[in-house]
Structure 1
Amino acid sequence: MKGGNRTRLPRVAEGIREELAELIARHVKDPRVGFVTITAVEVSPDFAHAKVYVSTLADPATIPELLEGLQHAAGFLRRELGRRLRIHTIPQLTFVYDESIERGVRLAHLIDEAVAKEPGRDDEGEDRGA
């Protein structure tokens, strides 16, 4: 990888993430695409492809439809990115569901349950014997 790409790649990825978040929130009217968060963007070293990680708090059963709606809007989104960003190559966009937030919520819930069941705590999770 060229030296300039090492710093440029993350800046381009962040620019794409910010612009996509705004474009999706304000301009994508597809009913399959509800409230969505762009959690990360990974751009290939040649800037030809970008993997866009998305998350939503919607029903997990709707995730395939959400991804389908985003992929359907990919051409429009690329065209708008081309107008907004100053980069030579606008990458092909691939949308991927990011399960990390969902996993984090599940893990936090499990930790809360374990702490609540800890011996020496009352029903509100307060220490009784200190």
Structure 2
Amino acid sequence: MESKRQQKFAGLLQEELAAIFQREGAAYLPNTLVTITKVRVSPDLAVAKVYLSFLNTNNTSLSVATVNAHSSEIRYKLGARIRHQARVVPTLSFFVDDTNEYVERMDQIFDKIAKDRKETDVNDNE
């Protein structure tokens, strides 16, 4: 479980990274909207795992690889923004947040189960 300190720092990172991607994200991924969905920070605040969601991209793994390739540049820009609020600028690791895909897949499974139940009920009543 994360401490309050980790949660506050993660919130700060999420806010600042979102601003960086909003202003300069087109340089890394043209015509793609990047959303920072979640940030997890290590207890010593030295490592941050950043979960991204992409809109208008066909290949999310390529998009996250592109962002990871520019992570040192993004970290530098983040450092310039948070230098008065943090002692250490954390090392950034970017990952794909597939929560939406998971929710859609679960909805499809539940819809299929409900449909199968209705068909079974109709067959039982006959």
Short-chain TM bin = 0.7 to 0.9
Partner letter of residue 22 of structure 2? A
Q: 2:33 aligns with which of 23, 27, 35?
A: 35
Identical aligned pairs, as a percentage? 30
Partner letter of residue 80 of structure 2? R
8 Å contact 1:32–1:69 — kept in the other structure?
Answer: no
RMSD: 2.4
1:70 lines up with 2:67 in the alignment = yes
TM-score (norm 2): 0.77
TM-score (norm 1): 0.75
Alignment map for 1:1-130 (pairs within 5 Å):
6-28=3-25, 29-31=27-29, 34-58=32-56, 62-85=59-82, 86-119=85-118
Q: Which runs of 5+ in 1 are unaligned?
A: 121-130
- Report which of the two has the higher share of helix: 2
Q: Which runs of 5+ in 2 are unaligned?
A: 120-126
CA distance in structure 1 between the partners assigned to 2:60 and 2:30 by the alignment: 9
CA distance in structure 2 between the partners assigned to 1:33 and 1:89 by the alignment: 32
CA distance in structure 2 between the partners assigned to 1:113 and 1:32 by the alignment: 37
Number of aligned residue pairs:
116
